[in-house]
A and B are shown apart, each in its own frame.
Chain A
C-alpha cells in the first residue's frame, strides 16, 4: 500500500492538469470496476453496480501548485499559484515542472512583501530564450514530491493532501466485493482552485448519499493523529446530514473501526456546493487526520488511513 501511495505522490497533477494522475489511478482500478468514464471536465468516475442505495464517494486528485505566468528577459520565471500553499514552507525549496524540469523558488528581493506575486522560479536559464527551451507559459510546477517514514507509524511528505484520499478510494475499490449498494467512486478535479469538479460529478451521478473523503487539518479542528478515521460533523459552511453521521458511526462501532469526530470551523466550501445540486443528496465526510497540511512536510498516521479504508468498505 505504501508503494502505491508513493507512486501516486510522484505523479504530478496540479489543478487543471490532472491527466497523468487520472491515468495512473484508472490503471489501478480498471480490473475492479464495472464501468469507468472520464467526464467533460476530467473527473474520473468508477461504478461498482449494486441494487441498493446510490452512494457517491469522492476525493480530489489534484494537488497544490504553480503555473508559469510570465518569463522575464533574464530567464527568471514568474508564477501564479493555486490556493493554499504555505508560503514559508515553499520559499527557497526545490520545485519541479510537469516535464521534470528542476528549479528553485526564490523571493524577488529580501524587502518585498512575502507573497507569490513577488517570487521567481530559477531554472538556471540565463535568458528568456534559454528558458523557453524548457518551459512554456501555463506549465505547472510543484514543490518536489516525497514520502518518508517517520517513527514507527507516521509518514511525512507531500502531496499527502490529497493522495491519501485517492489511496483510500483505490484500496476500497479493490477490496469491495459483492456490494449491495450501488457505489460510485469519483476522483475529482479542480479542488485546489476552488472550482470543484465534485459538483459536476454529483450532477451526473445524481446519488442519494454523497460522501467526501479528504484530510482533516489538525490546525483547524481538534483531531489527533492515531485516533482513527474522522467522521465530519460540520465545516464552516455546512453541517453534514445527521442521518449520514449516524450511519457512519454505527457502521464504525459495529465493525470495530476506530473513529473520532471532526469539526472544522475555519474552512469548507466543497460540501456546501454539492448538497443542493439537482435533486439533492444527503451529505457526509470521512477524513484522514493530517498535520502541517499545505506545506512540504505533511504528516499522517497509516493506521488512520487503514481505518478510513475500512470505513469506506463497509458502505457496501
Chain B
C-alpha cells in the first residue's frame, strides 16, 4: 500500500490533466481489466449479475496551477485550478507537465510598503520563477495554459504518519486499487455488483461523475475522499471534524448532500461487528462527488468515507497510515456478504 500511495501521489495529475494518474492505476489493475471512458475516467468492475450496482469512487485529480501569463522578464503568471488558500503557496516548489521546475515567489517583504505588509498576498501577485532570462527564454519552456503542480516528495515520519502532495484523493485511489486486488476473484462473496470509478475534474466541480451516473446507473455509491483533519492542538473538541488515527470519517451531511441514513447505518453496523474503527463527521460546508451521484441520471443512495488529512490541498498533506488501512477494511466490510466478513 505504501509503495502504491507513493507512486500515485507522485504522479502528475491536476484537474483536467489526469491521464498520467490513470495510467498508473491501469498499470496496477491490469490494462485488460480497466475501461477508459470518453472523458478520461477509468472504470473497473467486479461483476455480480443480479445484485444491486454499487460504485466505489475516488477522484484522480489534485488541485494545481495553470499558466495564464508570461511576463517580459520571464516570470510566469498563474491561477489555481481548484480551491487553494493563497497562504500555503509562497516559496513552494512546482513542476510543469513537461518537467520544468520552478518556485512560487512574490515581492520580497523588505520591498513592501507599510500597507502591503498588512494584507496577505493574493495569487495574482505571485509568480512562478523558472529561472528564465526573459520572455523568449520562458516561452521555450512553457506555454500559456500549461499545467504545474507541487513538486513534493513522499516522506514517512512520526508515529505512522505520511506526508505527500495530493493525498486528497490519491489516498482514495490507492485504497480502491487495493480493494480491487483483494476482491477481484471473490464476486460470489459480495453483496453488490461492484464498480470502481477513478474520476476526473472533482476539484473544479465539473465532475466526471456525471458520465459514470449516465453510463452505469448505479443504485448505490460510496465516495472515498480526503477531508480536513482538524485535530490540531488548539481546536476545541467539538470542532475536531475528523481526527487522524480514528479511522475513516463518515459524513451524514455537508454543504451539498444529505447522505442516505439507512445506508450509512448499515455500513456502521457492519464495521461495529468487525471492530473496524470509524468516526462520524460533523457538518462541513464543502461539497463532494457524492452530490453528483445522488442527483445524477436517475439517482443513487450515497455514503462517503473521508480520510482525515491534515493540511489538505497543500504540498505537505499529512495522513496516518493506519487510517488508510482502516478505510480499506471498512470498504470491504461494506460490500461483503455477512458470512464472509
Contacts and interface: CB of A to CB of B under 8 A. Distances in A.
22 contacts: A15-B258, A16-B253, A16-B258, A40-B219, A40-B301, A41-B300, A41-B301, A69-B282, A69-B283, A80-B283, A82-B258, A138-B252, A138-B264, A190-B294, A193-B253, A193-B258, A195-B256, A200-B297, A200-B299, A203-B297, A203-B298, A204-B299
A196 interface: yes
A271 to B, nearest CB: 15
B295 A80 contact: no
A24 interface: no
Interface in B200-255: 219, 238, 252-253
Q: Which 5 A-B pairs have the closest CB atoms?
A: A80-B283, A16-B258, A200-B299, A41-B299, A40-B299
Nearest to A41: B299
A199 B294 CA distance: 10
B264 A200 contact: no
A78 B240 CA distance: 13
B295 A195 contact: yes
A39 interface: yes
A137 B258 CA distance: 14
Contact of B298 (A39, A138, A194, A195): A39
Contacts of B297: 200, 203
Contacts of B294: 41, 190, 195
A82 B256 CA distance: 10
Interface of A: 15-17, 39-41, 43, 67, 69-70, 72, 78, 80, 82, 137-138, 190, 193-197, 199-200, 203-204, 273
- A interface secondary structure, majority: loop
A40 B300 CA distance: 6
Contacts of B184: none
Nearest to B292: A195
A145 B259 CA distance: 25
B298 A200 contact: yes
B282 A195 contact: no
B298 A40 contact: yes
A273 B260 CA distance: 21
A80 B300 CA distance: 23
Contacts of A40: 219, 298-301
A186 B291 CA distance: 20
Nearest to A80: B283
B257 interface: yes
Interface in B290-341: 291, 294-295, 297-301
Contact of B282 (A70, A72, A199, A203): A70
Q: Which of B238, B261, B298 has the most CB of A within 10 A?
A: B298
A82 B259 CA distance: 13
Interface in B275-294: 280, 282-283, 291, 294
A80 B299 CA distance: 24
A138 B280 CA distance: 9
A67 B294 CA distance: 19
B238 A199 contact: no
A195 B257 contact: yes
A67 B295 contact: no
Contacts of A17: 261
A203 B217 CA distance: 12
Contacts of B260: 16, 41
A199 B256 CA distance: 14
A39 B238 contact: no
A76 to B, nearest CB: 10
Nearest to A78: B238
Contact of B252 (A72, A137, A200): A137
Contacts of A195: 256-258, 291, 294-295
A34 to B, nearest CB: 20
Given A16-B258, A41-B301, A204-B298, 7 more contacts: A41-B294, A69-B283, A137-B280, A138-B252, A195-B295, A200-B297, A203-B298
B299 A39 contact: yes
Nearest to A190: B258
A37 to B, nearest CB: 12
Nearest to A194: B256
